[in-house]
Structure formats: C-alpha cells, structure tokens
Amino acid sequence: MKGETMTTHDAAQLHEGSTVAALYRSAFKAFASRDALVGDGICLSYQSLERRCQQVARQLKAMGLRHQDGIALLSGNRAEAVVLNIAAQWLGLRLCALHPLGSAEDQAFVLKDAGIRALVIDTPLHAERGAVLAGLGIVEHVLTLGPAPFGHDLLAAAAQQDDGDLPLEVLPGDIAKISYTGGTTGRSKGVVQRQRTAVTMTLQQLACWEWPAEVRFLAATPLSHAAGAFVLPTLLRGGTVFFMDKYQPDRFLQAVAAHRISCTFLVPSQIYGLLDCPALADADLSALQRIWYGAAPMAPARLTEGLQKMGAIFGQVYGQAEAPMTISYLRSDEHDAQRLASCGRPLPGNEVRLLDTALREVAPGEIGEVCVRGPLVMSGYLDRPEETAKAFAGDWLHTGDLARMDADGYLYLVDRAKDMIISGGFNVYSAEVENCLAQHPAVASSAVIGVPHAKWGEAVTALVVLNRGEQVSAQELTAFVAERKGSVCAPKTISFETELPMTSLGKVDKKALRVRWGVTPAGGAPAR
C-alpha cells in the first residue's frame, strides 16, 4: 500500500491482548481512594486492596510458586478470597476454585486432576474440610486465611512482605483458571480458560450490560462461581463489591437497604424465594437498579411476577463454563411479554449458530444445538483430548443446549440436550413443560424428567411443589398442560413434593431426581 512501510514484527507481541491482572491494575490506579471491597467488618480501598494483593503475591513467590503453577482456593465470600485471586493472576498462576459445598472426594479429585501445588483454605469456615484435604498429602503447600491447627497462615506471613509495586508476571497466553464442570454424566472435566477468555467476558460485560451509574454490587452467590465474574467489571467501573456469605431472602433485603445496593446477581431459585418472602412488600429497594439472573432457566410466569413486584430491573445472562457468562444477553427493556422466555441475542464478538446433528444450521424457529465461536470460548478440557474434540466438532463449541431463534435473532432455550424426553417418538422439552406448570396459580416450582416406559419409551414425569395453602389434583395439572402444550407434553405421572433437591448453585438437581426414580443413562450404568 502506498505510503506504508512494511516491516517484520513479532506478531505474538505486537497483537497480543491484555490480562486479568492488567485490568485490575488499571482499576487500582484509576480509583485509588474509593471503597473497593466491603463485608464482614472489612472495608478496603482500591489502594489498600492493591497493597494486600502485592503482599500476598510476594509471599506466594517466596514459597517457591512459579509462573503457571496450580493454586486452589476453598473459601466463602470474603475480601481475602478476592485478594488471593488477584495475587494469583498477578503471578500468572493457574487458579482453581474448589466448590464450597462439594464433597471431599470431589475436591480431592480436582486437586489431583489439575496438578495443584498450593491449596488455600478459608478458616474457620472450611477448617474441618481443609484438615481433611491437607491430610491426604496431595498438595505441596497447604495455606490458610487465618490461624488454623494445620498448614501455614498465608495472611500472617504476607503481612510481613513489602507492599510496593510488583511487576506483572502473567502473560496474555497463560491459563487464567481451570473451572470444573458439574460432572452430571460422570467425572468432572477441567475447563481451561486462558487470559483471553476472561478478558473477553469482562469487556463484553462492560460494553453490553446495563450498569448503574454508581455500582454497588452485592455478591449473594458464591465468589467461586457466578459472583466472582462480577468483581473485575465492578472495579473497572469504580464501584464497590459487598459480600453476603449465605443467601437468605430477608437478609438479602436488609443488605440491599442498608448498603444502598444498586445491582446484584441471583439464580432463579433465589429470585423465587425473594418473591415469596413476606418482607418484600415493605422492603426499601429504591437503590436497586439491576438484578442480573442466569445459571438456570427462569419460568416466564415467575419472571412476570418479579416485574410486577420489583419493576423492570432484570437482565438475563447466558453462558457456561466453556464460554462463560456472555454468550447472549436479554436487556431489561427487552423483558416484554413476547420475550420473557428468551435469553436474549448473542453479544458482539460471539458467532452463534443453531446446528443440527449433521452440523447444518437450522431455519429460524426450528430447534438446534447452540454452537459458539469466538475469543470467549475455552481452550479445551484439561488432559481430555477426546472430550475436547467432541466439544469442538466442526470447529464449533457445542454447548449441549437446545434452542430456537426467532427472525430478530433472539434465542429461546428449550432444554439441555441430555434433558430432552422422547415420548412416543416425539421430542418433549422439559423446560417448556416446567414453564407451563409455573403458570398454574397453585404451583410454586416443578421439575420434569423422563422415566422409562414400556409403551412410550419415556414417560413425562413432573415433580411439583405447591404454593403454601394451595391444593390441586394431578388430573387437573395434567389437563392444564395438555390444553396449553398438547397431550404429548402432558405428564403421565405427577408427584407432589414438599421441596425439590437443589445443587449448591441453586439449580434443581435433576441428577438426584433421576436416581430417585431409577433412571439410568445410556449404557445402563446407574445415574451418577
């Protein structure tokens, strides 16, 4: 091109992206005097947070942890967990958050599978479990966030370290974290997320979600999971993160009023509890401008109730560990009657297609699997090349979610592929039956599964929890669904339950329900 000087450059350096730690550092410098983290008697400014991160990073280096070593954290929602997270990113360590309500067996599996060198335990919250894991001898270093009868107190040792500027040791191509899937069909898989995935997610959050002018974010879900994804964008907007360690509707309402919370993230089951809480009617929600929700489908009928009781403050996020949080988004102003079942439109930077089993794109309105391309997508599953190849068939990330897309580009999830029921040769999508049941005034919540049947192949089976004081017959509910969705979708069996089993992330535990009903996965092995 005329006037352009062509030279040879190291393209890897010339065009490489940023890192999570670099984004944190920019927030520290931009908002030094503001409050960054508040909770459990602690209030840290951005400057104080940066200094603590520098100290912890120096202590981890002094112990011999090096670039891309693995470090795991078992913690509740507390400021020190954020400090450890940032310090690990500063050094380019591979961070792995252990599930706070996971079993010792599953946590030990993760430590081995991810090759973890250092395990950090939140004491006293997880001291008992920490002692168990420390006794297994899996990791080289056992560290604690406070005094404990085992391991070494990381915070006490870090307090003796210099808090001056420490150069970033992380590289844009590094693994940022390894997130483990739920393991609903077998052993959990380690999802490898490099720096580009975390940076892409953060930039999409900032660009495409509606943020309040003053960001006061309440972490009401575990920082090890969804809430952790909101810390960095909150700080990049100069906001403050407040902590709740255990969600209860009344305590949530009190925290929102006391701290003038302007935004939060909740899973649908938490929102249901909020809507059913008597204290909601008199709660001061005047500062609350945004409730982001996701991680599980939300029944449109209950979402309508939320809009009526709390106003147009909801924004739906859709993603998964393999492409976290920002595959698509439904803005608050898009929550109209026609789109309450939608999870929004794909965000800029993501290429999203609905594909059939032959990897052909389906027509608008038809059901296909949600498949994604772009920098948001994981690098693959840790040490599982066959699983990675399967997930990336045809050079797409296969999410396992079935959906339809309308002419305007809005996605409507209908089911997980593994949750789809085939009854009498017809496909029945459990989420659609659950949404239908939610429209009945007597129904508080439901879960629909397929149970083997000699005639139908699978029988649509609904486990239903009724609202307090309500009564309805199984025949009435079956007729209710048949009238609205057709006889194929009508449950063959309805079981009334006092409550549904939930995972620790607030999702209905269909795996546990299938075990209870004697359902086995393909291949005949007992469901796990």
Mean pLDDT, consecutive 10-residue stretches, the chain (528 aa), reads 51 83 98 96 96 98 97 96 98 94 88 98 93 96 96 97 95 96 66 97 98 98 91 98 93 97 93 93 97 88 94 96 97 94 96 96 95 98 96 96 95 84 79 89 92 82 93 94 87 93 78 83 35
Q: What is the rounded distance in angstroms from the CA atom of residue 128 to the CA atom of residue 107?
A: 13
Q: Residue 221, exposed/middle/buried by CB under 10 A (0-12, 13-18, 19+)? A: buried
User: What is the identity of the amino acid at 438?
Assistant: A
DSSP letter for 75, please: -
C-beta pairs of 43-52 under 8 Å, 24+ apart in sequence:
44/79, 46/235, 49/79, 49/82, 49/83, 49/86, 50/25, 51/163, 52/83, 52/158, 52/163
Rounded Cα distance, 137 and 158, in Å: 24
Nearest to 268 by CA among 88, 3, 435, 506: 506
Q: What pLDDT, on a 0 to 100 scale, did the predictor assign at position 9?
A: 53
Q: What are the Cα distances from residue 186, in Å, to 312, 321, 448?
A: 40, 16, 21
CATH of domain 420-516: 3.30.300.30
Q: Is 142 left (phi over 0), alpha (psi -120 to 50) or beta?
A: beta
- Indicate the SS3 state at residue 485: helix
Long-range contacts of 246-254 (CB under 8 A, 24+ apart): 247/220, 247/221, 249/273, 249/274, 249/276, 249/277, 249/279, 249/280, 250/277, 250/279, 252/218, 252/220, 253/277, 253/279, 253/280, 253/283, 253/285
CA dist., res. 495 & res. 169, Å (int): 56
CA distances from 95 to 15, 60, 159, 436 (A): 25, 13, 22, 41
Whether 212 and 290 have beta carbons less than 8 Å apart is answered as yes
- Sign of the C-alpha dihedral computed for residues 122, 128, 130 and 134 taken in this order: positive
At 339, the amino acid letter reads R
Q: Please give the pLDDT value at position 440.
A: 94
Structure confidence at residue 524 (pLDDT): 34
The two domains 19-29+46-194 and 209-417 share their CATH topology (first three levels equal): yes
**Among candidates 38, 145, 10, 150, which has minimal Cα distance to 81?**
145
> Where are the chain's structural domains?
19-29+46-194, 209-417, 420-516
Of 169, 144, 228, 237, nearest in space to 193 by CA:
228
Rounded (10°) CA dihedral 342, 347, 351, 356:
-10
- Supply φ then ψ for residue 126, to 5 degrees: -120, 30
Residues 6+ apart with CB under 8 A from 444: 272, 276, 465, 466, 467, 468
Residue 458 CA from chain centroid, whole number: 31
Say what the pLDDT of residue 68 is.
98
At the topology level, CATH places domain 19-29+46-194 in Rossmann fold (3.40.50)
Query: Cis peptide leading into 124, omega within 30 of 0?
Result: yes
- Superfamily (CATH) of domain 209-417: ANL, N-terminal domain (3.40.50.12780)
CB 386 within 8 A of CB 380: no
Cβ pair 237, 215 in contact under 8 A: yes
Three-state SS string over 394-426 comes to HHCEEEEEEEEECCCCCEEEEEEHHHCEEECCE
209: its two tokens: 């979600």
Q: Which residue has the tokens 């792995």?
A: 96
DSSP 318-375: EEETTEEEEEEEE-GGG-STTTTT--BEEPTT-EEEEE-TTSPBPPTTSEEEEEEEST
Cα Rg of the chain, angstroms: 24
Q: Are strands 35-39 and 240-243 parallel, antiparallel or unpaired?
A: parallel
Question: Are 178 and 195 within 8 A, CB to CB?
Answer: no
Give which of 180, 227, 200 is closest to 20, Cα–Cα: 200
pTM given for the model: 0.84
User: Would you state the structure tokens that stand for residue 432, as one six-digit string?
Assistant: 């659609």
